[in-house]
Every structure is written in C-alpha cells, then in structure tokens.
C-alpha cells in the first residue's frame, strides 16, 4: 500500500511537471516558487526531471512487490534508501521556500514520499 501511495504522489508531481513544461501558471509550487510561469531554462529542467520521477514510481512499485525487479533485490533496496534521502532533502528545501504554495503543498508531499521510501526499503527483507 505504501508503494502505491508513493506512485500516486510521483504521478501527481510528474503531471505537475508536464503542465509546467507547457507553461501553465503553476510555478509557485516548484523550483523555489519564484515564477508563476517557469522560464524556458527551468522548463528544460522540468523535462529532465520527468525520467527521474518515472523511475521513482517504478522503483517504489518494485520495492513493494507490484512489479518485477529490474535490478537485484539489494540494489533496489539501496535505490529506495537513496530516494528516501533525496526526498528528505527536498522536504527541507520546500520548507524553506519563500513560496507559501510550495511550502504548504509540496513539503508534506515530499515528506510523505520520503517516509514511504524508508518504509519500502525497511520492509524489503
């Protein structure tokens, strides 16, 4: 169930990034929240973050046993811990953002994702 929650969170974030790439005024939710509409260089960064988000979904589902493993069991577990650590850093960055939208919407999402990745990795025996 935790794996499904992570997959949903990262799917929402991936959709958000797609909308940002196409210029929708949602920039206050991401990348420091300084731009309502992301400038082109930040849209390029959003494009490059999409594969990482899709990879996180796949790893979470693999760690939870919903997909077959692409990597060895141990490597998948390590990747889950890496994502957990990355999401903890992301939580801190979202929390110190000047954007209230990023702080109050994205901080809880990244914290939940971090805790879930820790739980997934911990439960991989």
The answer, yes or no, to whether residue 27 has pLDDT greater than 90, is no
Give the pLDDT band (50/70/90) at residue 7.
very high
Contacts of 115 (CB under 8 A, 6+ apart): 84
Question: Across residues 61-74, what is the average pLDDT?
Answer: 90
The answer, yes or no, to whether residue 125 has pLDDT greater than 80, is no
CA distance 26 to 72: 38
**Number of C-beta neighbours around residue 70 at 10 A:** 12
Give the pLDDT confidence score for residue 28 in this predicted structure.
84
Q: Which of 7, 42, 14 shows the shortest CA–CA distance to 28?
A: 42
Give the pLDDT band (50/70/90) at residue 32.
confident
pTM flag (> 0.95):
no
């Amino acid at each position: 169930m935790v794996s499904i929650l992570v997959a949903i969170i990262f799917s929402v974030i991936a959709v958000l990034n797609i909308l940002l790439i196409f210029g929708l005024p949602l920039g206050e939710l991401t990348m420091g929240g300084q731009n309502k509409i992301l400038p082109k260089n930040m849209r390029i960064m959003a494009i490059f973050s999409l594969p990482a988000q899709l990879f996180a979904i796949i790893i979470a589902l693999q760690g939870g046993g919903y997909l077959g493993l692409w990597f060895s069991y141990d490597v998948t577990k390590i990747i889950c811990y890496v994502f957990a650590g990355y999401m903890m850093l992301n939580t801190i960055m979202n929390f110190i953002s000047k954007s209230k939208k990023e702080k109050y919407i994205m901080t809880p999402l990244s914290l939940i994702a971090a805790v879930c990745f820790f739980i997934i990795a911990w439960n991989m025996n």
